[in-house]
């Protein structure tokens, strides 16, 4: 997930985060790896995968996406 836009990019099998950032033209430091896609029935994010947007505009992933730390 791009923490600036909230767009979720699909990572290919065996693709690194650096390769994914190059493929989509997104800086690697703005990509947040997710464990799974957002849950449509999630009460917090309503299926968007975004828990909240900070004052600076950064998107924080919802717990339903199981963000990888």
Three-state SS letters, the chain: CECCCCCCCCCCCCCCHHHHHHHHCCCHHHECCECCCCCCCCCCCCCCCEEEECCCCCEEECHHHCECC
Q: Residue 42: pLDDT above 80? A: yes
User: What is the pLDDT confidence band of residue 68, given thresholds at 50, 70 and 90?
Assistant: confident
5 inside domain: no
Mean pLDDT of 15-39: 94
Average pLDDT score over the chain: 93
Name the residue range of residue 58's domain: 17-65
6 inside domain: no
Q: Residue 55: pLDDT above 90? A: yes
Question: In this predicted structure, what is the pLDDT of residue 67?
Answer: 84
7 inside domain: no
Q: Residue 60: pLDDT above 80? A: yes
38 inside domain: yes
Domains of the chain: total = 1
């Amino acid at each position: 997930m791009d923490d600036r836009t909230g767009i979720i990019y699909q990572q290919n099998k065996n693709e690194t985060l650096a390769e994914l950032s190059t493929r989509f033209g997104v800086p690697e430091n703005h990509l947040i790896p997710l464990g799974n896609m957002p849950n449509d029935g999630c009460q917090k994010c309503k299926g968007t995968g975004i828990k909240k947007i900070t004052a600076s505009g950064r998107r924080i992933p919802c717990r339903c996406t199981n963000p990888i730390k």
